[in-house]
């Protein structure tokens, strides 16, 4: 016994139109076809698959058979896949990128980033996005090595004329520790109080700023590659460290973390810039996303916060 044949995409579209409208006449109106063409298409599809998809006898409207109900989801997935393929190819023919590779600094607030990327997915549904979240000089390294088309980076050393920089805001950093940490129990701290306590510091995974410390005061440091891990260790009282205010506001409000009154580092801001290579400017989709970062940064007069777009 031979297996099922290969249906055409047109036959699958006709099948879905009948399912969605509930009748051959409704499908004909939706697809701007004659009813006889719709009926013929369904018959041919059933012949190709060697199964009956609709019950026609004893009913005014076609009802799905058990086999038809089992296949609806698969047919819909195929149709959506083809539609996505056509949209992507059309975008490429119109000059739209097939893929955007982006790197952002860990200091970019996650809620803001998620909001921007949601808007991007709605604006460019056919464009694939690849996101890297990095610390310190790693974002710029990815841009310079052409592994991403643009990045949102924290402060960089002077130079690097091959990069275009556009300010997109800033992030406020505050020194914090768990309430049972010795520094938190002291209240107002004298200068140098943090020198002999473990400071949790982000590790630089790039050669661009390797060996450069930002806001490191202690002689004792633990180096971590992940801001989320640093946050968790701070809450456990293992050390003290500087964190983005937006990321720890809930902890400060609940008392899970305490803001440290450190005269040698009471807090501060770091600037964030969108960067890309002068010889490799972003395409239409990437440029739109870059401008959203710029616009959102301009909205936040007090810094790059968590406001929704």
Alpha helices, H only, 105-257:
110-123, 138-144, 182-185, 227-235, 245-254
Residues 6+ apart with CB under 8 A from 57: none
The pLDDT profile of the chain, 309 residues, written as one tens digit per residue, is 567 788 888 889 999 999 888 888 888 998 899 989 988 988 998 888 888 988 877 667 888 889 889 988 888 888 878 876 776 676 566 678 889 999 999 888 888 899 999 999 999 998 999 999 988 788 988 998 899 999 999 877 655 678 888 999 888 899 999 999 988 888 777 787 777 888 888 876 655 555 555 556 667 888 887 888 999 999 999 988 889 998 999 999 999 999 988 887 767 888 899 999 888 888 899 999 999 999 887 665 444 543 322
Query: Smallest Cα–Cα separation from 15: which of 51, 42, 44?
Result: 42
Between CA 274 and CA 279, with CA 276 as vertex, the angle to 5 degrees is 155
Dihedral sign from CA coordinates of 149, 155, 160, 165: positive
Q: Cα angle at 246 between 245 and 247, to 5 degrees?
A: 90
Whole-structure pTM value: 0.61
pLDDT at residue 263, as a whole number: 80
pLDDT of residue 186: 82
Tell me how crowded residue 195 is: count the other CB atoms within 10 A of its CB: 12
Residues in the chain: 309
Q: What is the pLDDT of residue 136?
A: 75
- 14, 25 contact by CB (below 8 A): no
Q: Give 265's contacts (C-beta < 8 A, 6+ positions apart).
A: 175, 194, 215, 217, 242
pLDDT on residue 149:
93
DSSP letter at 175 equals E
Residue 104: phi, psi to the nearest 5? -130, 150
Do the Cβ atoms of 135 and 203 come closer than 8 Å? Answer: yes
């Amino acid at each position: 016994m031979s297996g099922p044949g290969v249906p055409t995409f047109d036959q699958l579209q006709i099948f879905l139109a009948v399912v969605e409208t509930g009748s051959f006449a409704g499908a004909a109106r939706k697809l701007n076809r004659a009813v006889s063409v719709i009926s013929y298409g369904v018959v041919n599809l059933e012949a190709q698959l060697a199964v009956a998809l609709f019950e026609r006898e004893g009913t005014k409207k076609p009802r799905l058979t058990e086999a038809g109900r089992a296949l609806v989801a698969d047919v819909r997935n195929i149709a959506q896949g083809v539609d996505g393929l056509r949209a992507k190819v059309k975008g490429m023919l119109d000059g739209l990128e097939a893929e955007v590779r982006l790197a952002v600094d860990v200091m970019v607030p996650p809620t803001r980033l998620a909001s921007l990327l949601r808007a991007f997915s709605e604006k460019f549904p056919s464009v694939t996005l690849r996101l890297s979240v990095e610390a310190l000089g790693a974002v710029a390294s990815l841009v310079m090595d052409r592994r991403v088309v643009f990045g949102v980076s924290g402060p960089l050393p002077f130079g690097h004329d091959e990069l275009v920089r556009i300010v997109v805001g800033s992030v406020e950093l505050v020194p914090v520790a768990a309430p049972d940490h010795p520094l938190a129990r002291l209240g107002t701290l004298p200068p140098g109080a943090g020198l002999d306590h473990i400071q949790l510091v982000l590790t630089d995974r790039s050669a661009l700023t390797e060996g450069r410390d930002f806001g490191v005061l202690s002689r004792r440091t633990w180096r971590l590659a992940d801001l989320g891990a640093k946050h968790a260790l701070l809450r456990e009282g293992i050390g003290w460290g500087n964190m983005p205010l937006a990321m720890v506001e809930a902890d400060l409000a609940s008392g899970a973390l305490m803001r440290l009154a450190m005269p040698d580092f009471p807090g501060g801001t770091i600037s964030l810039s969108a960067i890309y290579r002068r010889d490799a400017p972003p395409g239409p989709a990437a440029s739109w996303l870059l401008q959203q970062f710029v616009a959102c940064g301009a909205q936040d007069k007090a810094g790059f916060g968590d406001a929704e777009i």
